Amino acid sequence: MAAANAGSVALPAYQSSSDWFADGETRMAEKVELMRESNRAKNVILFVGDGMGISTLTAARILQGQMAGEDGEENLLSFEAFPYSALVKTYNTNQQTPDSAGTMTAMMSGVKNKAGMINISSKGLRADCASSKGNELNTFLDLMEITGRSTGIISTARVTHATPAATYARVPERNWESDDGLTEEARENGCKDIADQLVSYGYGDGIDVILGGGRRHFLPSEEGGKRQDGRDLTVEWQQRYEGADVQVAYLQNGTELAAQDLTSTDKLMGLFTSSHMSYDADRAASGSDEPTIAEMTESAIQVLEKNDKGFFLMVESGRIDHAHHAGNAYNALHDAVAFSDAVQAAVDAVNLDETLILVTADHSHVFTIAGYPTKGNPILGRVVTNDGSGAPEEGAAQAGDGMPYTTLGYTNGLGFADLGDETDADARYASAADAGRKDISGIDVEAPGYHQEALVPMGSETHAGEDISLHAVGAGAWLVQGTIEQNALFHIMARAAVVSPGK
């Protein structure tokens, strides 16, 4: 190779002309162009893929590419093309491997806390109402409401579940979603359940958009709900705005959302299912009248963007996590692909010169991509190896026990199940755990109902403790760099939106 002058290095033509090389050079040039402080973020959108660890991103990007007829490995999910990214440390103050209540509290309040508690500092005790008094934490959503911005929350889980609840509630027990879960001590000390806190939210003019599942926590038991106090919180939420000059809409299915005139809607609540919303593949297969996460995102932005001061929107894909807990990669990955579509819908709908979009997870899962499958091998399939000649070997690879194995697997959990075309991953919980190695010859491992093998038998697959990723584009995105603590997300959002927390 010829000697190089300062600042330049001669490379062989076959290297510099490679598509890989040219693509990397182009991407770096784009990044350098963006390496400057951007405008203030009038709007902030935080996307949270619950349980969407790095291995989930990798597998989902490959699946999305393969669904489009490609090998998949070169594909990128929408947000993976964002110009800024960081690694995020997820531990709780009392656990190496975290839970969603603690991780989302860190993101929304700027303070790490214990597992299971929502916006209560670590001085409090889990499920102890008295100890939570004086230890409540305020959230970024609170700050945006106080400064006159509009706010919204979206979740494919129940809107009272840990991740969405951490945007607005303060409670020492994440399971207090409705009053039926409150302990006697909590009642005596005046703690309110999460659904009650949502409809009576007291900052600004209240949360403007609420879309997701969990209707049962708002309805009395005699109407099929969970509430023991006889209250219908959906009615109370609508009555709250009676006499005010605002247009209010309460919806219960996707058809109603599609028909709603969002240009004249000021307050929007849509509770589309009794509990969690369907997995995306299950929704599509069953024809359930539920909106997609992308449709909910587009609808929310149409309502919120009417506020000239700006808005904050949190969008959670909650069921990625649930499918992983069931040991079902099929639904976890399809929900991650739907999540990517929702991010793209937001990018297409807003002005990035005044909007910061952040995409992250709360934690990861013990989900692995292993073996030496040939490039382009179906990501949900059995491992088929390559001998280096460019042609895959015949048949699936075999492990040391002489049986084939899949690329995807779990370290722990319920283990193997072959439920065929069943798209509801939770159906796995209806049968006994079956961990350990199985002979999967002749089984359709790419079917919706296939649940991957697991090494350690457990009643539910667990979260994992490694770092997760954060991706950013738009106003203030340059703040996202390096390896950061999870609570730094609060400060990134506050800095970008020029919201200064007071004492």
At 212-225, the pLDDT tens digits run 999 999 999 999 99
Q: What is the pLDDT of residues 446-498, one digit of tens each?
A: 999 999 999 999 999 999 999 999 999 999 999 899 999 999 999 999 889 98
What ranges do the domains of the chain cover?
41-366+462-497, 378-461
Note whether 406 and 382 are within 8 A (CB).
yes
- Give CA 493 to chain center in angstroms: 17
pLDDT at 47: 99
Mean pLDDT of the region 243-252: 96
Contacts of 333 (CB under 8 A, 6+ apart): 56, 59, 60, 63, 379, 380
Cα–Cα distances (Å) from 496 to 179, 286, 312, in that order, read 37, 42, 12
CB 312 within 8 A of CB 167: no
Judge whether 471 is annotated as a binding position: no
**Hey, which residues are catalytic here?**
100
Q: Do the Cβ atoms of 474 and 41 come closer than 8 Å?
A: yes
> Does the annotation list 163 as a binding residue?
yes
Does 65 have pLDDT greater than 70?
A: yes
pLDDT given for residue 26 in this prediction: 76
**280-311: buried (b, 16+ CB within 10 Å) or exposed (e) per residue?**
bbbbeeeeeebbbbbbbbbbbbbbbbebeebb
The per-residue pLDDT for 31 is 58
The verdict on whether residue 463 carries a ligand-binding annotation is: yes
Average pLDDT, the chain: 93
Radius of gyration of the chain (CA): 24
How sure is the predictor about 7, in pLDDT bands with cuts at 50, 70 and 90? very low
Residues 322, 50: Cα–Cα separation, whole Å: 9
How do residues 318-348 score in pLDDT, each as one tens digit? Answer: 999 999 999 999 999 999 999 999 999 999 9
Domain 41-366+462-497 is of which CATH architecture?
Answer: 3-Layer(aba) Sandwich (3.40)
pLDDT band, residue 21 (cuts 50/70/90):
low
Residue 34 pLDDT greater than 80, yes or no = no
316 is in an annotated binding site: yes
Q: Is 50 marked as binding a ligand?
A: yes
Alpha helices, H only, 160-253:
162-165, 184-188, 194-199, 233-239
pTM of the model: 0.93
pLDDT number for residue 498? 84
Overall average pLDDT of the 182-210 stretch: 97
pLDDT single digits (tens) 406-452 = 999 999 999 999 999 999 999 999 988 999 999 999 999 999 999 99
The pLDDT of residue 397 is above 90: no
Residue 184: pLDDT above 60? Answer: yes
Nearest to 450 by CA among 411, 405, 395: 405
pLDDT score for 32: 55
Residue 389 φ/ψ region, left for φ over 0, alpha for ψ in the -120 to 50 degree band, beta for the rest: alpha
38 pLDDT above the threshold of 70? no
Judge whether residue 132 has pLDDT over 90. yes
pLDDT at 499: 83
Does 390 have pLDDT greater than 60?
Answer: no
What are the pLDDT digits (tens) for 297-316? 999 999 999 999 999 999 99
Residue 393 has pLDDT above 70, yes or no: no
CA atoms within 13 A on the CB side of 181: 22
Task: Specify whether the CB–CB gap between 199 and 228 falls below 8 A.
Answer: no
Q: How confident is the model at residue 394 (pLDDT cuts 50, 70, 90)?
A: low
Asked whether the beta carbons of 216 and 157 are under 8 A apart, the reply is no
Tell whether residue 297 is among the known ligand binding residues: no
The pLDDT score that the predictor gives to residue 452 is 98
**Whether residue 95 has pLDDT greater than 80:** yes
503 confidence band (pLDDT: 50, 70, 90) = very low
Residue 388: its pLDDT value, please?
Answer: 58
Q: Return the pLDDT at 90.
A: 98
